[in-house]
Structure 1
Amino acid sequence: MNPIVDILSLDHEGHGIARIDGKVIFVDGALAGERAEIAIYRRHAKYDSAHAVAILKASAQRTEPRCPYFGHCGGCSMQHLEAGAQVAAKQRVLEENLARIGKVKPDVIMAALHGPSWRYRTRARLSARWVDKKGGGLVGFREKRSSFITDMVSCEVLTADVSALLQPLRQLINTLSNADQIPQIEVAVGEQVTVLVFRLLTPWTDADAVKVRAFADQHRVQVWEQSKGPATVRPFWPDIAPELSYSLPEFDLVMPFRPTDFTQVNTAINRALVSRAIRLLDPQPGERIADLFCGLGNFTLPLARSGAAVLGIEGSAELVARARANALHNGLDNARFVVDNLFEITPETFAALGPFDKLLIDPPRSGAIELVKSLPDQGGPQRIVYVSCDPATLARDAEVLVHSKGYRLMAAGVANMFPHTAHVESIALFTR
């Protein structure tokens, strides 16, 4: 007989938390305040993992998932929780991490940045697989807790045009000679064009190429191909197409990018996040500012619009080349870019960069621990804006900034970059 439990709270991944005889149970599909019948699918020494078989007492914040594949597809984990409650849960995760890991508390909790909850996703990596039992090719996100691909023909978080391509892509793959040699299709949606990057373990035949060209023409997309690593990505058809780009209208910027360049998946939230970051940092003409982990210049070029002299530093030579091209494209000559490994920076190499009035830090999930340790104990940048995609590493780095480097955590808040997932994007302001 399945156990019945009361759900006490949510964890940072959106799982319900219950206890049986003192042991923690993480429950997929259950919300705080609910009573649920559960089935345990994995046992561990200190905790068990389970899924909700039936909700016996529902939370007032429970809502009907919009996607018919929710609970089976691994792309979303929180569609059953009302959108505002999702954001509140992410804010709690941020605050709890700052308190528990960083031992810090912001003076101000900023209002969360909201955007569209559906049809927001302009970047995706779709899995593809030939499955005889399913009658051919599958294209979509992986199933929950599985390497299998969800048998899906639509998606509520992809843009409408891309969602509508899922079934035609399956049909296309079914006709190709190398159908079992296409493991992945990467999607990049720009303001003028959508690009599909096919990962090919073996190349298309001439007959395949004719079919792919016809598909691209019919659906008005550009197809690229990738035979090995990122350096092998190249346009396939049509040969001439509009350049992928997104815009930041507040700063009169257009940002071209390649389909494999890192860009944010949510255009509306990216615009709001950039706007908030620039307001918090308050760049002034004549100041010298560093944008660390700058990518293709998403924050660097808006900072440069203020008249400040901005140095962007990034470990990827390809992204630095793109950032330089974007500065030129937008007529900015006060943004300079260099390639450097910020994960290995030292106090000496940071000092060699020269003095900065302010910093913007936007690292990957692993955070910026060596960078914050390299900042001078006195003097140095008086204002730091830290954009984070992992509240745990933000909290770890905040402890160093506040307790070792003399900064004050003035404000922090979340940006709902990935609605219906447990991903927490956040932004924090540190001052001296």
Structure 2
Amino acid sequence: MSRRPLPELELDITDLTHDGRGVARVDGKAVFVTGALAGERVRALTTARKKSFDEAVATQILQASPDRVHPRCEHFGICGGCALQHLAPDAQVAAKQHTLLENFERIGHVTPQRVLAPLAGEPWGYRRKARLGVKHVAKKGRTLVGFRERDPRFVADIERCEVLVPQVGSRIAALSALVDSLDARALIAQIEVAAGDDATALVFRNLEPLGDEDRAKLRAFGEREGFAIYLQPGNNDSVHPLVGDTISLRFAVPGYDVDFDFRPLDFIQVNGPMNARMIDHALALLDPQPTDRVLDLFCGLGNFTLPLARRAASVVGVEGETTLVQRARDNARRNGVTNVEFHAADLGRDLRGQPWVREGFDKLLLDPPRTGADATIPQLPLAGIGRIVYVSCHPGSLARDAGILVREHGYVLRAAGVMDMFPHTAHVESIALFERG
């Protein structure tokens, strides 16, 4: 018995999903349409039917949005690294602001008293951290290096990337040719990119030890193209330079007389220029005074902690990953910052045994992972904290935690807005200011 073909439809797109697809409705049922923008009328082919929604792909734009633009990247639509290159950058930011405010209303049941002007920067060549997939495809007779396709089973067949830092984005084809030349080409699983201000590292995830000839090819490539080459034969602790000593990867934060050493697999903010602006933005909202004692939670390697220490009396940074805590301490020592201390603690678990929880603070900065801080907030010494700045990489968890701070702890959501840390993607980075009511 043959399966009936899925229908082609004409649809009016009313909104965008969290992952950048258009939203339409047919007889009340949502249809998520890849390649469509809000305000458009499209012809779309249904690709999947599910209980609560259908999925489709736009085959013809019958009435285009005035915000539709021609994507710069020739691989857009296949490569999954970007979702919104067909939407003008200003409209991307507006869509993200709409998503944030809609999440506040729907999930947190709160409304900011003031909507902050969006923070946005250069939308191309910004990405200094990335994980590139590697796949030897026998049918194509070569090895692919790139982001995953929208279907994550496959690595996108690309030659360059417009959002990676140029020294890497312009060399995707060269990286593919390099891996393809290796005897171990089928045993390289991924390449991690980490770019500092003055040096760029490539970490090759090798599933088996490499032979001398392959190691020589990697070394020659690194010397010719200006990359520090690392190998990762096991877990994160196994990362080591192909030859010589670990190089210094470093980024500076202008205006605070601090810079940060980091390792290739350390978490740092993907967008360097926007990170510097975000720090300025967060500190302006938190307004640390020379007499303030500040608590910085989920502090990583001290991205906010050290700049805060330049303005406040003292700062306590807390992070769950012990290697980052040690890196933060080393960075404080190297920068001559003495009014800061760092603690390792799993901030999603019981914190009653942590000595810093019993200390008093005037202000708090939160920068949690996507899961948010709902397990952390009820355990904090909030009694003396008059101002909180919350930096978020997920609008849903921020909205939920905003509801907790407002309804359960007596704070007012004074202001909130988006920061476009990931242009051309649907990722929403945001910031919110809470004050005691």
- Superposition TM-score tier, normalisation by shorter sequence: over 0.9
Instruction: Report SS of the residue matched to 2:348.
Output: helix
Which of 316, 322, 335 is the matching residue for 1:311?
316
Structure 2 distance, partners of 1:174, 1:375, is: 52
Find the counterpart in structure 2 of residue 416 from structure 1: 420
Is 1:374 the counterpart of 2:379? The answer is yes
Instruction: Indicate how the Cα distance of structure 1 residues 351 and 217 shifts in structure 2: closer, same or farther if over 3 A, else same.
Output: closer
Q: Tell whether the 8 Å contact from 1:346 to 1:370 is kept in structure 2 after alignment.
A: no
Q: CA deviation at 1:348?
A: 7.4
Find the counterpart in structure 2 of residue 293 from structure 1: 298
| One-letter amino acid of the counterpart of residue 157, structure 1 | V
Find the counterpart in structure 2 of residue 136 from structure 1: 142
- TM-score (normalised: structure 1): 0.97
Is 1:32 the counterpart of 2:38? The answer is yes
Find the counterpart in structure 1 of residue 433 from structure 2: 429
Structure 1 distance, partners of 2:407, 2:152, is: 42
Q: Tell whether the 8 Å contact from 1:122 to 1:267 is kept in structure 2 after alignment.
A: yes
Counting only pairs closer than 5 Å after superposition, residues 377-396 of structure 1 correspond to structure 2 as 379-396=383-400
Instruction: Report SS of the residue matched to 2:376.
Output: helix
Find the counterpart in structure 2 of residue 2 from structure 1: 8
Q: CA deviation at 1:250?
A: 1.4
Which of 136, 158, 163 is the matching residue for 2:164?
158
Q: Tell whether the 8 Å contact from 1:19 to 1:25 is kept in structure 2 after alignment.
A: yes
Find the counterpart in structure 2 of residue 400 from structure 1: 404
Instruction: Report SS of the residue matched to 2:224.
Output: helix
Which of 285, 293, 296 is the matching residue for 1:280?
285
Find the counterpart in structure 1 of residue 48 from structure 2: 42
Instruction: Indicate how the Cα distance of structure 1 residues 351 and 253 shifts in structure 2: closer, same or farther if over 3 A, else same.
Output: closer
Find the counterpart in structure 2 of residue 356 from structure 1: 361
Instruction: Indicate how the Cα distance of structure 1 residues 16 and 115 shifts in structure 2: closer, same or farther if over 3 A, else same.
Output: same
Q: Tell whether the 8 Å contact from 2:317 to 2:343 is kept in structure 1 after alignment.
A: yes
Q: Tell whether the 8 Å contact from 2:357 to 2:380 is kept in structure 1 after alignment.
A: no
Q: Tell whether the 8 Å contact from 1:347 to 1:375 is kept in structure 2 after alignment.
A: no
Is 1:111 the counterpart of 2:130? The answer is no
Larger displacement relative to structure 2 (165-174 or 391-400): 165-174
Find the counterpart in structure 2 of residue 205 from structure 1: 211
Which of 58, 77, 94 is the matching residue for 2:64?
58
Q: CA deviation at 1:37?
A: 0.5
Structure 1 distance, partners of 2:97, 2:217, is: 48
Q: CA deviation at 1:346?
A: 4.7
Structure 2 distance, partners of 1:32, 1:350, is: 51
Structure 2 distance, partners of 1:236, 1:286, is: 48
Q: CA deviation at 1:350?
A: 7.9
Structure 1 distance, partners of 2:99, 2:259, is: 34
Instruction: Indicate how the Cα distance of structure 1 residues 96 and 347 shifts in structure 2: closer, same or farther if over 3 A, else same.
Output: farther
Instruction: Report SS of the residue matched to 1:344.
Output: coil
Structure 2 distance, partners of 1:58, 1:240, is: 54
Find the counterpart in structure 2 of residue 69 from structure 1: 75
* CA-atom RMSD in angstroms: 1.4
Larger displacement relative to structure 2 (173-182 or 8-17): 8-17
Find the counterpart in structure 1 of residue 341 from structure 2: 336
Instruction: Indicate how the Cα distance of structure 1 residues 33 and 380 shifts in structure 2: closer, same or farther if over 3 A, else same.
Output: same
Instruction: Report SS of the residue matched to 1:68.
Output: coil
Q: Tell whether the 8 Å contact from 1:347 to 1:376 is kept in structure 2 after alignment.
A: no
Q: Tell whether the 8 Å contact from 1:362 to 1:388 is kept in structure 2 after alignment.
A: yes
Q: CA deviation at 1:353?
A: 3.4
Q: CA deviation at 1:375?
A: 3.4
| One-letter amino acid of the counterpart of residue 250, structure 1 | G
Q: Percent identity?
A: 49
Q: Tell whether the 8 Å contact from 1:121 to 1:159 is kept in structure 2 after alignment.
A: yes
| One-letter amino acid of the counterpart of residue 328, structure 1 | R
Which of 62, 65, 88 is the matching residue for 2:94?
88
Structure 2 distance, partners of 1:420, 1:17, is: 18
Cα deviation per residue 1:215-257 (whole Å; 9 max; x = unaligned)?
Answer: 11100110011111101011113x2575101110111111110
Size of the aligned set, in residue pairs, is 430
Which of 255, 260, 278 is the matching residue for 1:255?
260
Q: CA deviation at 1:341?
A: 0.8
Structure 1 distance, partners of 2:21, 2:76, is: 14
Q: Tell whether the 8 Å contact from 1:357 to 1:382 is kept in structure 2 after alignment.
A: yes
Structure 2 distance, partners of 1:405, 1:355, is: 16
Cα deviation per residue 1:391-426 (whole Å; 9 max; x = unaligned)?
Answer: 000011011100000000011010000000000000
Q: CA deviation at 1:286?
A: 2.7
- TM-score (normalised: structure 2): 0.96
Counting only pairs closer than 5 Å after superposition, residues 169-208 of structure 1 correspond to structure 2 as 169-208=175-214
Larger displacement relative to structure 2 (173-182 or 7-16): 7-16
